[in-house]
Amino acid sequence: MNVDDDQPLKGLRILVVEDNYVLAESMRWALEGLGCQVVGPAPTSRKAFDLIDAGTVDVAILDIDLQGKSSAPVAERLRAEGRPFLFLTGYESAALLPPEFHNARCLSKPVDPEVLASSLLEEVRALEN
């Protein structure tokens, strides 16, 4: 991943794992406006794994709760492959996450596009260092 200082997210392939269509499309619109290539959205972990297997992901945004199931297996896979990610939640806390992810970045829904962009950039840069 090469981060351009003028348009730091431009060209990044961002996997959106979100089961709410309206929220997923809102994120797509915001990310594409920043020059990102949106992969997905994936409403389930299985679809997310398929997209990861296709090798088209630089960084991921993971809804914690996907139709009553945790996205933690997707996070485990991304972490094992050295790919950055962050979580989104509509709940008061990230208590749904397994303990190994309690230190992961977690944003609340609805997320401000600027906060999302800066958080993604921080995750990408942290992995590069």
Alpha-carbon distance values, 28 to 79, 80, 101, 112 (Å)? 23, 25, 25, 13
Domain ranges of the chain: 13-92+102-128
pLDDT tens-digit readout, 105-120: 989 888 888 899 999 9
Tell me the C-alpha distance between 109 and 13, whole Å: 21
> Which CATH number describes the domain made up of 13-92+102-128?
3.40.50.2300
**Which residues lie across from 88 on neighbouring strands?**
63, 107
Confidence category of residue 101, pLDDT binned at 50, 70, 90: confident
SS (H, E, C) 35-85: CCEEEEEECCHHHHHHHHHCCCCCEEEEECEECCEECHHHHHHHHHCCCCE
Confidence category of residue 76, pLDDT binned at 50, 70, 90: very high
Confidence category of residue 3, pLDDT binned at 50, 70, 90: very low
Tell me the C-alpha distance between 98 and 17, whole Å: 18
**Which residues lie across from 86 on neighbouring strands?**
61
